[in-house]
Structure 1
Amino acid sequence: MRNLKTFSFLLAAGLLSVGAHAQNKSTVEGTTPLGDVTQYRTWSIGVNGGILNQTNLFHFARRGNTDMKTNAGYSLYIKNQLTPSFGIKAQYLGGKVAGNNPELGTGFETKVPYSVALSGEFTLANTSWRLYNSIIKPYASLGLGVMNSETTLIAGSAKTTNDKITKMYVPADIGLKFAISKGVNFDLGYQLNFVNKNFDGVVNGTFTPDVFTYIHAGVEFALGSPSKPYLGNSNPVATLIEDNNLRYDALKAERDALKASNGALTSRLDNLENDLKDDDGDGVPNKYDKCPNTPSGTKVDGSGCPLPEIKHETKIIEKIVTEEDKRVVDEAIKNLEFETGKSTIRTKSYESLDRVAAILIEKNFSLKLAGHTDNTGSMELNLRLSKERAESVKAYLVSKGANASRIEATGYGPTQPIATNATADGRQANRRVEFTLY
């Protein structure tokens, strides 16, 4: 009896240690709360080995056979898990049970070639909202089966072997299972078997069964796709918690991504604001200011450099626009092209515009730029586009050194056509920027 207790204690400690080190999420991965049974494997097989004897926790039906003989037992089963907490299994059990009555000098030895039972197995850990782990599974089962046995009676040195008999028996099992992966369990159990005929060679009373114990340990393997967890290891609460954690992680990742995106936009905005800074207040951003830190109120050109001082002399300066000047302006008008629907000047127009800028700088002329469009599109769009194109030409001339204060840019949209808008050629003629030099 002492050896039996020691064996049981060491076996339980070993399996508890394995279960503690094997805790993971593999028994719930890939499943959803209230998910269909197709998310799981439902069939399993188990193989167990252990010890058989006539003792039990309550010491009944021992017939005075207090000298217990411990023998090896073995079993295997196939189970269909119907729900996370309940399954039906068919179990085979074999081995030998023996015991002695030291006071009478008698004993028995019963061989069990086979026994087959159908049991219902209830898994406690898969139904309790408090036991929501998905690793350690207390269970209990109760069944009904048929057993074949052959008993040998011992009286001193004499032995008498009875005929083999087949009888009904009831197996009742309690134990722990330790889920170590999606489809593998360690199994540690204590099974009482109630037999309705003379299992130990002694004829029983009407309501007095024979009892023997099977203490066992083994492994249960789920059948089916390895990618799916086993339904018998699926605790609904653990599945719910895991699903909640995944949703939380997804929301957290989305939040972090939005924060990172917001940080990038903030950095970009800071860079743009820095590009537009004008420390000396002359109207030219630092990035393009070739003469920074000009005194407040100083008139500057397009590059931010001070304009030449005008001497206050009573002197009439006559500005004469020559035919050559007019030719340069007409050529610039003729060669001026923009990107379609935009105010961006095409590079082929730069050369003629450079010559206009040179005249403005050399002769200090003033220039009026008038942007026009055809009547295609809304009035609001055309007014804005004509204004932007005139401003774009002004900006280019200022970038080449022309005096911004002497250039006026105005947009008239489609209000001043010079040709009919009913034809493509007419509309092309109406899309223009006019230069007036004075």
Structure 2
Amino acid sequence: MKQNLFKCLPLAFSALLLGGAVQAQDKIAEGSSLSTWSIGLNAGALTPVSPLGGKNDFSKWKTDLGYGLYIKKQITPYFSLRLDGVRGKLKGDNSEAWDGGATNTSPVSAFETDLSYSGSLNAVVNLFNISMFNDNSAVQLYASAGAGLAGYKVKTAAGSGGLTDYAGGKTIKELIIPVGVGAKFKLAERLNLDLGWTINYVDGDNLDGFSRGGNDKYNYAYGGLEFALGKGKQLAWHNPVALTYDEALQAKQLATSLRSDLDAQKAENSKLRSEMNDLLKDSDGDGVADKLDKCPGTPVGIVVDGSGCPLKVPVPVIQEKVIITEADRRVVEDAIKNLEFDLGKATIRQKSYATLNRVAALLIEKNFSLKLAGHTDNTGSAALNMRLSKDRAEAIKAYLVSQGANPSRIEATGYGMNQPIASNKTAAGRQKNRRVEFTLF
């Protein structure tokens, strides 16, 4: 069992490194900058006894210096894997009476063990690391447990004699089960103070060179520093509960901002509708808007010219056959290509006037009829798009009439977003769908 564990430790460490590399790639892909690797250095007191019960082979145990280091991979804010190594000496003797005052009959009076190496792979769980309003804590308590291998040499003394090699001075290898607790304090963004205490249960009774029955054990109480590797904040101090809380606050702020923008857009749309109603208002029903009507109050049924005044000459007889030439079509096509409105409004931009003037002249000269069909993309509500398409067609009609075109020969209709000529899923498609079609007849 011991040999199998010794062989498995390098494999476990390789898996730790591989798992860390894969997770690091995942976090980079997600845009995370949290640090997950760290190393620690520590020193403290080694004692060959357990305060949690069990038999001790010597009546007096001594405290000696121990030192160690570890490499840690933080998997989540609450769980990590740590590879620990510890060295030092363990000492004890029988200079005091046994527990209960029993007579000391042990043939071994003292021992000294050189802990050549002690390596173990431990699972570490952060017990307390949550603060609702801070995404990084400053103090945490943790517990650890694992398994590993210890190699040591023992010297023993009989009576008042000196120390001699035990087991021929060979290095003894034993399975160890370390169980510990600790507290960690964040000193800086990449530096922690680490205080801990570990009890190591040994799978054997050779640690002190004498057996009274039961397996040996030793303690390591230590203090040290932990250094975070890589860039970004330490994942061990990261608090996803607080992060979720912050994200919820940001989402609420964004929703409030969007609601304000929506209210502002509604107010702007209401103002636009009021302006368009005022622009297109035709009190006498003669087909010429009040703003362009030079003869308001024209009686119903009276034929008027482009300025809203009664015609002084008979209306020309409409020819039954209308001939539209390629030149006529080019005039209309140029007007369509150069037609521009203010964003979200039915206000015609000045750059469109020149080509619209040529359309008006064509209507006057050849007495053509013209159908104006307004279309939009699917951005916004159907009702708003229907009004906007209708208003834009009416605005073009009003402009052509202002240039002398016969309003009775111009039909303005809005279709909203119901007749797309391209996909509304792309910006280019939506651009094509925002149009006003001119049809001569």
TM-score interval w.r.t. the shorter chain? 0.3 to 0.5
TM-score by length of 1: 0.48
User: Greater CA radius of gyration, 1 or 2?
Assistant: 1
